[in-house]
Structure 1
Amino acid sequence: MSAGRALNVLVTGGSGPSGIATARALRNAGHAVFTVGSDAARIEAAAAEAGGGVTPLVCDLASLTDVHALRATVAGAAGRVDGVIHLVGGWRGAKGITDQSDEDWDFLERNAVTTLRNVTRVFFDDIADSDTGRFAMVSSTAVGSPTAGGASYVAAKAAAEAWTLAVADGFQRTQSGRKEDPVEQRSAAVIFVVKALVDAAMRAKAPDRRFPGFTDVDELAAAAVGLFSTPAADLNGRRLPLGS
């Protein structure tokens, strides 16, 4: 655990409500926060909304070259990244199996899988070398009960989950599971599992709707902050349900 040390945390997919809430919560917890988006105006506005001291950065996370450049930028400004909260995603659905489109699959594969693969490959060593290294992604309860209409979405989320569990295995093999001179587990990769996310703007647009089972973005943000004060051995490789 960080024992009060300020950590460098990257929030990818930082332009949306969940990214803003998570960046704000991490900043309020005393960490140095870098929030990442693909559109300069949107990520700058999001960082300003999250609060002073949150640094906006622009990157195409689907480009491995651009993610390497992102790491160089953060390293030059603050040093090693201790944690990544990966909030890139998106939804595409259909009526059934036969109308699942290649366009939707390409969108989902790019956002849910490729961005995650790139970020974890580039930042794996940073997180593994940190005293309190954490990686987290957000998945869906639909992975456990896939529907025909959501086939492409669920398949992409399942692939992202599998990759994240492999990252967790990588952390374990380099630390507590090392054959020679094992050390205390200090890095962890986890999966937050939600039905769907809800924020204040969504509630304001539909004041009579209850959003049953949804997870508020502030709850997600609090869970992200909590990762850094929870022992890695209690987290690594876990699926953590949120919401009720």
Structure 2
Amino acid sequence: MTTDSYEGGLDGAVIAVAGAGGPAGRAVLQRLARSGGHVIAADADPERLARAVDDARYDAGGADITGEIVDLLDLEATQDWAARIEKDHGRVDGLVHLVGGWRGSASFPETELADWDVLHDLLIRTVQRTSLAFHDGLMRSPGGRYVLVSAAGAAKPTAGNAAYAASKAAAEAWTLALGDSFRKLGGDGGPGAAATILVIKALVHDGLRAERPDAKFAGFTDVRDLAEAVADIWNRSATEVNGTRQWLTPPS
């Protein structure tokens, strides 16, 4: 592997997925593994993680997917996780950040500042720790990628989503700063690694459709389509995707 993209597949790529315990995590794990990647999943919930890993491994025909409980609010623990991956596999080629959470209110005056405390941890501090922990390893990779999944609300906050939108916007800014680091350290040849933001309105999956059969989910992104978009980041050059927002839902 001598270029900065994995056109045609992810054979041999080593990719970590943070916040992998939900439906989006299962879809991303399965898609990356089917492309030939060695996928290491992390989540704070042991049962959710085990279920997602087992389901994704089954869906991908017994592919190489493992799981590990990691406290992503602990920088040292996150650094240890990144170091173990690189030591065990000889490289680390990606970190997909799926850690999510939502808090909102009926109106702006009803905003609970406690919601900010929760979202600050989930949506910002986890990005800070994973980006710092994986930065050097991704720079050493021939095609390192840091992929953040964000929300359209970060660019167009609504009255009841102040804490959520502000948290997402902060996470985006942090990720773009990571991309600037990759650019500056990449030298004259451009960045070898890339930090990219995938922007959605919201996610939908088969279980949610079954729960709400009459809902239209207009503008929502299916988790399988998200997984395709995640995998495609490795098919494109670092120069093309570094420091960019890729809109999966057209901005309104």
Q: Decide which of 222, 226, 233 is 2:228's aligned counterpart.
A: 222
Structure 1 runs of 4+ with >6 Å offset: none
One-letter code of the match for 1:67? Answer: T
TM-score scaled by length of structure 2: 0.91
* Superposition map of 1:134-149 within 5 A: 134-149=145-160
* Superposition map of 1:14-33 within 5 A: 14-33=20-39
Q: Decide which of 114, 130, 139 is 2:125's aligned counterpart.
A: 114
CA apart distance, 1:70:
1.2
Distance 2:150 2:208 in 1: 20
| SS of match in other structure, 2:196 | strand
Q: Decide which of 186, 210, 215 is 2:216's aligned counterpart.
A: 210
Distance 1:101 1:11 in 2: 30
- In the other structure, the counterpart of 1:36 is 42
Q: Decide which of 6, 30, 38 is 1:2's aligned counterpart.
A: 6
CA apart distance, 1:36:
0.5
Alignment RMSD, CA only? 1.3
CA offsets, 1:116-167, max 9 Å, x none?
A: 0000001001111211110111111112221111000000000000001101
Distance 2:52 2:116 in 1: 28
- In the other structure, the counterpart of 1:76 is 87
CA offsets, 1:199-242, max 9 Å, x none?
A: 11011111222110000000010011111111111101111111
Q: Is the 8 A contact 1:2 1:131 kept in 2?
A: no
- In the other structure, the counterpart of 2:69 is 58
Q: Is the 8 A contact 1:216 1:243 kept in 2?
A: no
| SS of match in other structure, 1:91 | coil
Seq. identity, %: 38
- In the other structure, the counterpart of 1:86 is 97
Structure 1 stretches lacking a partner, 5+ long? none
Structure 2 stretches lacking a partner, 5+ long? none
CA offsets, 1:7-63, max 9 Å, x none?
A: 100111000000110000000000000010112222111101111321001001111
| SS of match in other structure, 1:149 | helix
Q: Decide which of 134, 147, 167 is 1:156's aligned counterpart.
A: 167
Distance 1:72 1:144, change over 3 A: closer
- In the other structure, the counterpart of 2:183 is 172
TM-score scaled by length of structure 1: 0.94
Q: Decide which of 183, 186, 195 is 2:192's aligned counterpart.
A: 186
Distance 1:144 1:2 in 2: 30
| SS of match in other structure, 1:14 | coil
The count of corresponding residues between Structure 1 and Structure 2 is 239
| SS of match in other structure, 2:198 | strand
CA offsets, 1:64-86, max 9 Å, x none?
A: 12102212332332122110110
Distance 2:140 2:103 in 1: 36
